[in-house]
Amino acid sequence: MTPKDMMAVDSNAEELGISKSALMENAGKSVADHIIDILDPCKIVIFAGTGGNGGDGFVATRHLLNNGYNVELCFIGRSDRIKSHETIQNWTAIQNINSGLNSLKIKIIEDSSSLKKVTAPVIVDALLGTGVKGKLREPISSAIDIINKSEGIKIAVDVPSGLDPLTGEVQDKAVEADFTLTFHEIKDGLKKAAVRYVGNVILYDIGIPKEAEIFLGKGDLLRLKKRDMTSHKGNNGRVLVIGGSRDYSGAPTLAAHAAFKSGVDLVHVACPQSVALPIRSYSPDFIVHTLSEEIIVEDDVDKIVELSKNVDSVVIGCGMGRDAETATALNEIVGEIKKPMIIDADGLKLLYNDILNEIKNEVIVTPHSAEFKALFGLDVPEELKDKMEIISKTSNENKCVVLLKGALDIISNGEKTRLNKTGNPGMTVGGTGDCLAGLTGGLMAKGHDAFEAACLGAYINGKAGDMASVKYEYHFTATDMMKYIDDAFR
């Protein structure tokens, strides 16, 4: 589990009704319980920082005091720099119980000159946890030196301070712990780090349910790629939408518009001549490439493949129609294009059964239950666990990401499976699936892998629909819904 995964899960747990305060309480109590298990009441020195890791240290302090331990709390930093509500809450509690009726001693250390050697059977590192970035600043740096020079048992909370929780590397210096007490799942960095730093890694359950990892939530928005402030046109993604036919100009238009809403820089649309003008008329932002007269045919393949070389992702199928000539063209296109691709709508109906296994680049398919059966020859079971199993198995066998659309979306890459419950019955209106395809294609163009793009696309598209329903109830169009994509991202 990466640090970003852990932050997302924390936030998703909160959305499920499990507060961050409860998680901090459970984490801090786990630290105290570990100490109680290995040593009778004695002196404990806890080094705590201003972040969530420090909050865990404050909680541990309370529980140790309740069990007869003498606790010296060294708070490194300034209390006005504590940002987390939960950490502030527990810092306030620590100050309130510092009444002289217990053994608590608090030292507030704002600069390294105030740091002194400590002597105690146990030293607790609750300084940084997953918050380390680059070279350490004072007084944190000197505090780590003091912890390492102390002779007591050294216990790191979640991750030894100074150790990169993703890579396990130490760029400057890090606490050399005898025990690392980590929570929910072992972080990737702890698995890769030298034993010198992490010691004996012990995992504690702090009450995060598995649903916080399976159901998509607002925490997953932390995974969104951030725009580089020095970037220029094209650096933030270029999408090619391939679709449209004599009767369908709206579907590729909606997909292209949604792709822009994802935050990409450029959106190209390759479409038949019969719908090129209405698509151009919809927005001057689209770069429209005219193909054959009424439908996409085999003669268009070379031009489309050439266009794909200058984009970062491809969305194909929206409004393509179901002509036999178009089917031939589509299967040649998906076989030749070498970019991440999302196949949607008519594209799913035209796709040859065995072609997915031949595609070397990342592919997302977005069927509903009927399209899933037509594409893979399989019925979707009624029971959720059975649904998840068949979607995962199908994804693995066909080497693609499957996003099964429904009242509860199921997304799988064959290894991981996520569920999305955003969305509402108003989204049965035509065009919302085209929005999902364009939005997801845009997220792939911005650098998300296929699985992550499908997960984020499903969540954000559904959230936009939920926001639209607040104003329109179930009387909204895909265009109405699209107005709320910006808010859904936030």
Burial 348-380 (b: 16+ CB within 10 A, else e): bbbbeeebbeebeebbbbbbeeebbeebbeeeb
Closest CA to 154 of 198, 195, 94: 198
Burial of 299 (0-12, 13-18, 19+ CB in 10 A): exposed
Sign of CA dihedral 57, 62, 65, 67: negative
SS3 call for 375: helix
**Contacts for 326-332: CB closer than 8 Å, 24+ residues apart:** 326/245, 326/295, 326/296, 326/297, 326/350, 328/297, 328/298, 329/296, 329/297, 329/298, 329/300, 329/301, 330/296, 331/355, 332/298, 332/301
Torsion of Cα atoms, 166 then 167 then 171 then 172, to 10°: 60
Q: Is 34 annotated as a binding residue?
A: no
Per the annotation, does 134 bind a ligand? Answer: yes
Question: Has 132 been labeled as part of a binding site?
Answer: yes
Q: Is 285 exposed, middle or buried (0-12, 13-18, 19+ CB in 10 A)?
A: exposed
- Give the Cα-Cα-Cα angle 389, 391, 392 (nearest 5 degrees): 65
DSSP 311: S
Residue 406, marked binder: no
Residue 162 annotated as lining a ligand binding site: no
Cross-strand bridge partners of residue 409? 420
130 belongs to an annotated ligand binding site: yes
Q: Known binder of ligand: residue 56?
A: yes
Rounded Cα–Cα distance for residues 159 and 161 (Å):
6
- Does 51 show up as a binding residue in the annotation? no
Chain position carrying tokens 């709390």: 73
The answer to whether 319 is annotated as binding is yes
55 is annotated as contributing to ligand binding: yes
R_g of the chain, CA atoms, integer Å? 27
Is 250 annotated for ligand binding? no
Nearest-angstrom CA–CA distance, 419 and 402: 12
138 phi, psi to nearest 5 deg: -80, 150
User: Is 158 assigned a ligand-binding role in the annotation?
Assistant: yes
Is 220 part of any known ligand binding site? no
Residue 133 counted as an annotated binding residue? yes
Q: Which amino acid is at 7?
A: M
Q: Tell me if 131 is assigned to a ligand binding site.
A: yes
Q: Does 54 belong to an annotated binding site?
A: yes
Question: Is 300 marked as binding a ligand?
Answer: no
428 annotated as a binding-site residue: no
The annotation places the binding site for AMP at 433
The annotation places the binding site at 52-56, 125, 129-135, 158, 161, 251, 319, 368, 433-434
The annotation places the binding site for (6S)-NADPHX at 52-56, 129-135, 158, 251, 319, 368, 434
The annotation places the binding site for K(+) at 53, 125, 161
